[in-house]
Amino acid sequence: MQTRVDDMPLPAAPAASHAAPATEFRILGAISFSHLLNDMIQSLILAIYPILKSGFDLSFAQIGLITLTYQLTASLLQPAVGMITDRKPMPYSLPVGMGFTLCGLLLLAVAPNFAVLLLAAALVGTGSSVFHPESSRVARMASGGRHGLAQSLFQVGGNAGSSLGPLLAAWIIVPHGRGSVAWFSLAALLAMVVLLQVSRWYRDHHVVRSKTHAHHALLVPLTRTQVAWSLLILGLLIFSKYFYLASISSYYTFYLIHKFGVSVQNAQTHLFVFLFAVAAGSLIGGPVGDRIGRKWVIWASILGVAPFTLLLPHANLFWTGALTVVIGLVLASAFSAILVYAQELIPGRVGMISGLFFGFAFGMGGVGAAVLGHVADARGIEYVYGLCAYLPLIGVITAFLPNLERKRVA
């Protein structure tokens, strides 16, 4: 009987010939801090949407287009960056990428029209396209085999930075105007200094770590068809997660202002609380996945948040705040588990997988913001939250993922 090529098993990851190196918490801390600064700068764009909307007389669709521009820039370039650096690591690309973010930030502060706003957003997206795949690779190199923990530590920096953006916008940019955005270029400069130190460590260690970084427990080979279906399922879960997050990160302030009549600063404080909950949740998924299995974390994170998203459109102001905290905590725990699960599906392609999944996540967030902006213009902002409440139900397809932990060889 002839065997189909698509059903031939993929080769297992090669056995490690040396004991795994110790976890480099100093490097993980540095890369997490850089992620905090990078994503804090990105979140400033989201946080000053009310200022941009009134200052440039923008529609919700144009607000969504700003998000689409910077997130699609990142999403289209990240997989390419990951594939290139899988073949030829580029340690010093990290501070260079942050340089693009710095330029975008300065341009945002002085942009005279909507077209220049889009260019500034594209530069910030370009910086992220370089930063995320290579930073994720550094986190895995420094993990000492604790891959979920390392990705969670890396991810919590970014989510903490995202939560700070609205708070800093409320304290600094709202009182002093859009030009005060330029002061945050100092954060980008600090990140470049930190990343130069990380780049030196990366340069000195990538050859040694690449030889000793394989799993202690090897995966039983999956067929190419199984891997392809698993990646498709993970992609649908990313779609569910980031479309829903786009509804809050891009439009939560408008929702609170419209439905409850709160001030801009009060709404930005609520957004900070939600994003802080996201940061806290991101620290949970990786270490728990290391212990109990990534599939179960993914399942609980995506599907488990559905009861809370379904209640949110019917809640008063107090319960809206409380429910969004729970939603942020639970939903955020998925990404680290999804990313490490995908890296284990295709061993040896850390850059490509990291770029693909970070890029797809950003892309889905951007597309979600643009689509939901059009829906908000046509049907109202409250309709958006009623519609998006059903997205986490897609999490039921997690049942079809292979349980990799049961497929490990003793």
Structural domain count, the chain: 1
Higher pLDDT, 402 or 349: 402
Task: Pick the closest to residue 314 from 386, 244, 254 (CA basis).
Answer: 386
pLDDT at residue 326 in the model? 94
Higher pLDDT, 217 or 196: 196
pLDDT at residue 193 in the model? 94
- DSSP-derived 3-state class of residue 219: strand
Could you give the count of Cα atoms lying within 13 Å of 68 in the half-sphere of its Cβ? Answer: 14
Q: How does 339-370 read in b/e, with b if 16+ C-beta sit within 10 Å?
A: bbbbbbbbbebbbbbbbbbbbbbbbbbbbbbb
Q: How does 228-260 read in b/e, with b if 16+ C-beta sit within 10 Å?
A: eebbebbbebbbbbbbbbbbbbbbbbbbbbebe
**Would you put residue 218 in left (φ > 0), alpha (ψ -120 to 50) or beta?**
beta
pLDDT at residue 18 in the model? 47
Mean pLDDT rounded to a whole number for the chain: 82
pLDDT at residue 213 in the model? 47
Q: How does 27-51 read in b/e, with b if 16+ C-beta sit within 10 Å?
A: bbebbbbbbbbbbbbbbbbbbbbbb
Chain centroid, CA 230 distance in Å:
20
- What is the mean predicted confidence (pLDDT) over 151-173? 80
Higher pLDDT, 285 or 3: 285
- DSSP-derived 3-state class of residue 348: coil
Domain annotation covers residue 72: yes
Burial of residue 6, with CB atoms counted within 10 A of its CB: 0-12 exposed, 13-18 middle, 19 or more buried:
exposed
- Please tell me whether the overall predicted TM-score, pTM, comes out greater than 0.85 for this model: no
In sequence order, what are the residues at sequence separation of 6 or more whose Cβ sits closer than 8 angstroms to the Cβ of residue 162? 39, 40, 42, 43, 249, 275, 278, 279
Segments forming the whole domain that contains residue 73: 24-407
pLDDT at residue 15 in the model? 43
Higher pLDDT, 326 or 125: 326
Q: Do 68 and 367 touch, CB atoms closer than 8 A?
A: yes
Helix-then-strand count for the chain, H and E? 17, 0
- What is the mean predicted confidence (pLDDT) over 278-296? 80
Q: Do 40 and 166 touch, CB atoms closer than 8 A?
A: no
pLDDT at residue 365 in the model? 74
- DSSP-derived 3-state class of residue 340: helix
Confidence of residue 119 (pLDDT cuts 50, 70, 90): very high
Domain annotation covers residue 11: no
Domain annotation covers residue 8: no
Cα gap 321→340, rounded to integer Å? 31
In sequence order, what are the residues at sequence separation of 6 or more whose Cβ sits closer than 8 angstroms to the Cβ of residue 92? 196, 199, 203
**% of residues, the chain, pLDDT over 70:** 90
| Least confident range of 91-105, 135-149, 168-182 | 168-182
What token pair was written down for 296? 């179960």
pLDDT at residue 320 in the model? 95
Higher pLDDT, 47 or 183: 183
Q: Do 213 and 141 touch, CB atoms closer than 8 A?
A: yes
Tens-place pLDDT, residues 28-71: 999 999 999 988 887 777 777 778 888 888 887 888 788 778 77
- What is the mean predicted confidence (pLDDT) over 156-166? 79
**Number of C-beta neighbours around residue 24 at 10 A:** 20
Higher pLDDT, 180 or 112: 112
Helix, strand, coil percent content, the chain, rounded in steps of 5: 80, 0, 15
pLDDT at residue 191 in the model? 93
Domain annotation covers residue 9: no
pLDDT at residue 357 in the model? 83
pLDDT at residue 75 in the model? 73
Domain annotation covers residue 390: yes
Tens-place pLDDT, residues 246-270: 888 778 888 999 999 998 878 888 8
Q: At which residue do the structure tokens 């989201």 appear?
A: 46
CATH number, domain with residue 42? 1.20.1250.20
pLDDT at residue 207 in the model? 54
pLDDT at residue 7 in the model? 47
pLDDT at residue 217 in the model? 41
Confidence of residue 189 (pLDDT cuts 50, 70, 90): very high
| Least confident range of 20-24, 62-66, 246-250, 385-389 | 20-24
pLDDT at residue 405 in the model? 62
Measured N-to-C along each axis, helices 350-379 and 60-87 cross at an angle, to the nearest 10 degrees, of: 170
Cα gap 226→247, rounded to integer Å? 32
In which element (H, E) is residue 196 found? Answer: helix 185-212
Domain annotation covers residue 77: yes
| Least confident range of 40-44, 231-235, 237-241, 263-267 | 40-44
Higher pLDDT, 315 or 272: 315
**% of residues, the chain, pLDDT over 90:** 23
Q: Is the pLDDT of residue 406 over 70?
A: no
pLDDT at residue 269 in the model? 85
Domain annotation covers residue 367: yes
pLDDT at residue 210 in the model? 47
Q: Do 224 and 10 touch, CB atoms closer than 8 A?
A: yes
Domain annotation covers residue 13: no
- The winner for highest mean pLDDT among 18-27, 203-212, 380-389, 398-407 is 380-389
Q: Is the pLDDT of residue 340 over 70?
A: yes
pLDDT at residue 261 in the model? 92
